Amino acid sequence: MPLPHLRDLRHDALAGAFEHVGVERAESVSRRLILALHGRGALDWDELPLGRSAGRVREHFRFEPLLEEARVREADDGTRKFAFRLRSGEVIETVLIRNRANRTLCVSSQAGCAMGCGFCATGAMGLLRNMTAGEITESKARIERETGERVTDVVFMGMGEPLHNYDAVMTACANLNVQDAAPIARKRITVSTSGLVDAIDRYAAERQPWRLHLSLHSAIQETRERIMPIARLHPIRELLDSMRRYQESCSVKWVTLQYVALPGVNMDDAHVDALERELRGLRTILNVIPWNDTGADFRAPTWAEVKDFTTRLRRLRCPVKVRYSAGKQEGMGCGQLSAETLAAAPSTGHMIAPPGIFTA
């Protein structure tokens, strides 16, 4: 059995793991390593302050680099996409979004994805494998070192379904938030799911403190099944009931629902009516995302179509936001991550943002 990697261990389990293998002053050693691993972003043994414990720790744990930088691309708006190769050969992508003083890192949780959503480039890859907690957090450490900038927000909206890799993602979240290092605030860590009901219920039962967003995209069962195969397993009312349980259990004032706007698919009056009907009793923020071209058989909406849709959404009497995807013309927007293994999407199929309307 391979030795455990130090970055894969949850920070509050480190001292116990050291005690178990006989590391002297395990608590003190673990505190120093937490600062090095999750504060300074150490990447190799030479950067770990092990002192006299080095021999014992090296005997029982691994700490080789988990990622190799494959490519970096930068868009005109400053958004940067980093492609990393995992040691097993797969390539994953992570996007750094600059918005005023904030630096948001959109991280991947899987190489590929099993959900198969029709509007998403990652879904066309299928699932190659889950990422480990260490691989997830190492991507942050490498990007901070490369850019010299501190990440302020992390969103699990890159490649993969985070709740399909539940344990590793929850460990990564805890290590990103560790208070003994340079923590990312818990409310600045967001996990996005396509709707795995059992995992949502577990998330609620464990009272996980990270924000949970639901990728809804339609409140009509037939439409959702057509664009999101997971809907065949979890009908819309069962899914939204799980979000109500989450809202109550975790005392969440507003639940954010993501809604990719697809003309001719989910933007007509019937879909607005369905949202009004199905969302009753759920305090929501509706986050409308104009579809970003992935080469799939959809059309990006015009600004006039988005404005008309959001105007009709006012009758839901909930906050409605329009999210413009930074770097979309360079394949860095929502739904476009595919490790560049797929054919490049046409550059003309995006909705261009009117000046002053959207922010990155």
**Would you name the residues annotated as active-site residues?**
93, 334
Residue 313, helix vs strand vs coil: helix
Name the phi and psi angles at 91, rounded to 5. -115, 135
**Nearest alpha-carbon partner for 216 in 274, 267, 257:** 257
- CB 137, CB 167: distance < 8 Å: no
Alpha helices per DSSP H over 85-220: 133-147, 166-176, 197-205
Name the phi and psi angles at 57, rounded to 5. -65, -45
Residue-wise over 51-73: b if at least 16 C-beta within 10 A, else e? eebeebbeeebebeebbeeeeeb
Q: What is the DSSP string of 114-144?
A: SS--TT-TGGGG-EEEEPPHHHHHHHHHHHH
Name the phi and psi angles at 40, rounded to 5. -90, -10
**Nearest alpha-carbon partner for 61 in 12, 1, 139, 138:** 1
- CB 226, CB 189: distance < 8 Å: no
